[in-house]
Amino acid sequence: MSHCFTQLHLQIIFVVKYRGALISDKFKSDLYEYMAANIKRRSHVCIIINGMPDHVHLFIRMHPDESLASLVQYIKGSSSRWINHYYPSQRPFRWQEGYAAFSYSKSQIPRVFQYIKNQEKHHQKKTFQKEYQDMINKYDNPPDATNPLHPFL
């Protein structure tokens, strides 16, 4: 694709199955490094990854050679296997089906970066459900019953 120019900046959010608070401080930085390496390995640019015990925010510059669905499937699958291998628990780690993705212009990168960087502080004031609902409302995209994240709104 040498004749293509794209600037596809995406925030991707996905949650732990059953909204379990399973991403512990013990391994979250290793998990984020693992995810970032896999994103880079697939020719995308990882700007920042952060989250809470029950969900993750990825902010990437997407390469046009791969679909968003394919990348998310790969990241979720490989990270689940990584967690289960290196940090096994009584129940297997799984991500919830589905994800949310939002696009941003280059000028919005610093704001989105800070938002993701400050997730812990942000969630002292707002729950994930409220955060997600606000994002949906901001993008004029009302939730529907077919959305896999819908039960958590």
The CATH number of residue 61's host domain is: 3.30.70.1290
pTM of the model: 0.81
For residue 2, what are the CA distances in angstroms to 6, 52, 64? 11, 38, 11
Instruction: Answer yes or no: is 1 within a domain.
Output: no
What is the percent of the chain with per-residue pLDDT over 90, rounded to a whole number? 69
Check pLDDT > 50 for residue 152. no
Q: Establish if 49 belongs to a structural domain.
A: yes
Q: How many domains does the chain divide into?
A: 1
Note whether residue 42 is domain-resident: yes
**How many whole angstroms separate alpha carbon 11 and alpha carbon 59?**
4
Tens digits of residue pLDDT in 101-115: 999 999 999 999 999
> Which residues, other chains included, contact 45 with Cβ-Cβ below 8 Å and sequence gap of 6+?
39, 60, 61, 63
What's the domain range around 106? 8-152
In a domain, 37, yes or no: yes
Domain presence at residue 3: no
63 within domain boundaries:
yes
